[in-house]
Structure 1
């Protein structure tokens, strides 16, 4: 099956064909660095991290650019509130963003440009737009004239005569059209500025991404991505200014991820349900967060709830528990041949080739996990025949390959469970010696065939979020589930 991608501009799935054979030029809008990254940012970053991993696994050479907006009204406002410079604000939150995404096991993009590093590129594009009659100057400000671009609205499917002034656009009575947007803003007191043909000033938000994208990837790129909230006006304006400036298609495939809700409500600071990545990491293992984010199709909205996170965490536990069993059976950290690919990988690729359907891919993965555990149950304690061993190792290799695409199963099983156990003990204040003592008491109760007492001890520990795993030689493994 050939890879198909849902293209926002056509509203259909289209076969993926790159500008250059097996090379992908991909640009994704990064954060405006004035505050901590939240779980919505994490969804976008993880979504495109998985897409890049998969494209590379399919043999594509991907040049992945994700920017930082490091000059913006919000950064200036924060700087004025704190007394810091805009550069200090940006540096602090860029560092924090990197720490958060590194913790989520997100691979760094090929390039991470900053808007302030491309002022010359921005000025050149604005000059082209003015010369072409697509932009005009007003008292040192430069605006894009939306009426001069007949296809304005083709990405968002919005018509100018149906839009309402003030909806995410700057209302300025001097503009020819209320939806004309700023390409360059004249300098104001206590704001950063750069020299330009129109006087000192700074770039508008939308032109920054067009400049960085064209400078680093070319005037036409294969994929442009971001959250659905960016379709209008940001990406719509990128299309207009880029195609007006260069006279060619700006982006071949537009990919937009859905929103993250918190307990069925839209995430909002005003509702006090705003969840930062750092806060999420305090309560959940990084791979639990990734599992939650990839368990739904990237275009679907997802709901961050205690139940959804509990389910995601349980899923990660099942993956690592299976790996632990495999390592114990084969006395090895991995299959003998980790490079070969079998039917499980092929089924996973079929799901991913259908618009990066990680939800279906996860379902296929867990089908395999259930099947391999049944096989392990059947052969427990018996000699493993060569054909069975070969089949199990092939599945094992595919499981690890799928995990690499999804950003899961990146740790050794024992290290994963030890980390969870340590964290769980610290949060609950339970003493390890107490748990071992209760397990020993349960073991004695079972020897004495005092099943009711043994069951009561198990329930006592389960109430403390301690789960026991009974083996033929007794209970030797226990885990913290929160």
Structure 2
């Protein structure tokens, strides 16, 4: 089965055909860096990381760009509150963002361009829009003339009149139409600014991504992604700007993830129910949050609650235990030889099932079902008294392959390594044989403290992480 994705632009699933065979150009809108990211921000961060990982597992060469908006009104206000410069504020929260997504197991982007590093390209882009009649200057500001772009509204599937209240700017007499949006904002006294043909100022929000997409990925890209809230106005305005200049589609596929709710309520500042990623990962393993995020289809709303996290933790523990038990038996098994043909066939079928589900618009919950099918196979095999290293390796390799896409198995570096655990178990066994009960108990207590639980079975001692 070939990959099919739901395209917001066409409102249907379409076969994914890259512009260049074997390569994918992908842009996902990044944060405005004036604060720490919250768990709602975590959904697109994790989902599009999985999209990228899956594409790479299918042998695509992915160029993955996510930007930093490091100057805008919010940043100027926040910098004033804190008594720092806008660049200083940006450095603080860019570092925090990278630290937070690393904790979530998110791979580094190919590039993280910043608005302030691309000002010449942004100004050039605005100038091209003015020259083509799609933009006009008004007392130091520059606005996009939405009535000039006939297809404005095609992404959000609304007409111009329906959209007039969604633009992120107050209506004023400088604009020809209320729907027109700002490309360049004249600087107020004391504000950070750049020189331009229209005077000192800074870019509007939407133009930044249009300029950076064209600079780093080209006039048309394969995938443009972000949260559902970016469909309008941000992505709608990006399309209008870019396609007015280039005359080509900005992106062939537009992907948007749905919202994350907290205890069945929309997360909002007014409710004060936001939870920061850096606070959350102090309370539970990041892999649990990541698993929870992938437990629902990305286009469906997802409800965050203590109960849903508990369910995610319990489910993930089953997968983690299977992984650890396979490693343990592999380290102690002595029987070699080929894996049973029937087992090989079942594992191959499960692997195909996983890929089929991911090919169906990145259906992670159904792909996770395939992971549990593999866990069941592993657990059944581990119950045998005599196991073969080839079969254990087959099961372990496939589980690890699934994790290369999902990124849900434990990566914590402060835990005991598997080899260290095995050595301690051997030492404890020897201590018990020599009736050194104190040392045996000491090792058990150490393992328990590190979240390692021992279980005596007919096949020997098994261990699992809490």
* TM-score, scaled relative to structure 1: 0.84
1:368-393 CA distance string (max 9 Å, x none): 2123212222x0xx222x5xx54443
Tell whether the 8 Å contact from 1:30 to 1:69 is kept in structure 2 after alignment: yes
Describe the shift of the 1:175–1:346 C-alpha distance in structure 2 as closer, same or farther (beyond 3 A): same
Tell whether the 8 Å contact from 2:13 to 2:361 is kept in structure 1 after alignment: yes
Distance in 2 (CA, whole Å) between partners of 1:174 and 1:414 is 58
1:123-180 CA distance string (max 9 Å, x none): 1111111111100000111000000001000000011122343664432232111110
Structure 1: which 5+ residue stretches go unaligned?
Answer: 419-435, 441-465
**Match for residue 457 of structure 2?**
472
Distance in 1 (CA, whole Å) between partners of 2:368 and 2:235 is 31
**Match for residue 189 of structure 1?**
189
**Match for residue 155 of structure 1?**
155
Q: Give matches, 1:374-453, under 5 Å.
A: 374-377=380-383, 379=384, 382-384=385-387, 386=388, 390-411=390-411, 415=415
Tell whether the 8 Å contact from 2:321 to 2:465 is kept in structure 1 after alignment: no
**Match for residue 361 of structure 2?**
355
Tell whether the 8 Å contact from 2:320 to 2:410 is kept in structure 1 after alignment: no
Distance in 2 (CA, whole Å) between partners of 1:144 and 1:5 is 31
Describe the shift of the 1:165–1:413 C-alpha distance in structure 2 as closer, same or farther (beyond 3 A): closer
Pick which of 278-287 and 471-480 moved more: 471-480
Tell whether the 8 Å contact from 1:70 to 1:115 is kept in structure 2 after alignment: yes
Pick which of 470-479 and 405-414 moved more: 470-479
Distance in 1 (CA, whole Å) between partners of 2:107 and 2:165 is 40
CA shift at 1:279, angstroms? 1.3
**Match for residue 425 of structure 1?**
none
Structure 2: which 5+ residue stretches go unaligned?
Answer: 339-343, 419-436, 442-450
What is the number of residues matched between the two proteins? 433
**Match for residue 378 of structure 2?**
372
Describe the shift of the 1:261–1:353 C-alpha distance in structure 2 as closer, same or farther (beyond 3 A): same
Describe the shift of the 1:368–1:203 C-alpha distance in structure 2 as closer, same or farther (beyond 3 A): same
Matched, 1:342 2:345: no
3-state SS in 1 of match to 2:37 = coil
Pick which of 165-174 and 320-329 moved more: 165-174
**Match for residue 85 of structure 1?**
85
Describe the shift of the 1:375–1:213 C-alpha distance in structure 2 as closer, same or farther (beyond 3 A): same
**Match for residue 319 of structure 2?**
319
Describe the shift of the 1:416–1:310 C-alpha distance in structure 2 as closer, same or farther (beyond 3 A): farther
Distance in 2 (CA, whole Å) between partners of 1:344 and 1:402 is 10
Tell whether the 8 Å contact from 1:469 to 1:475 is kept in structure 2 after alignment: no
Tell me how large the CA RMSD over aligned residues is.
3.0
Describe the shift of the 1:292–1:63 C-alpha distance in structure 2 as closer, same or farther (beyond 3 A): same
Distance in 2 (CA, whole Å) between partners of 1:163 and 1:324 is 53
Matched, 1:243 2:243: yes
* TM-score, scaled relative to structure 2: 0.86
**Match for residue 134 of structure 1?**
134
Distance in 2 (CA, whole Å) between partners of 1:84 and 1:272 is 26
Tell whether the 8 Å contact from 1:294 to 1:358 is kept in structure 2 after alignment: yes
Tell whether the 8 Å contact from 1:68 to 1:113 is kept in structure 2 after alignment: yes
Describe the shift of the 1:336–1:268 C-alpha distance in structure 2 as closer, same or farther (beyond 3 A): farther
**Match for residue 11 of structure 1?**
11
**Match for residue 256 of structure 1?**
256
**Match for residue 123 of structure 1?**
123
CA shift at 1:336, angstroms? 11
CA shift at 1:272, angstroms? 1.7
Distance in 2 (CA, whole Å) between partners of 1:286 and 1:273 is 20
CA shift at 1:91, angstroms? 0.6
Describe the shift of the 1:123–1:468 C-alpha distance in structure 2 as closer, same or farther (beyond 3 A): closer
3-state SS in 1 of match to 2:225 = strand
1:259-287 CA distance string (max 9 Å, x none): 11111111112212101101110111011
Distance in 1 (CA, whole Å) between partners of 2:386 and 2:463 is 26
**Match for residue 289 of structure 2?**
289
1:92-143 CA distance string (max 9 Å, x none): 0000001111111111000100001111111111111111110000011100
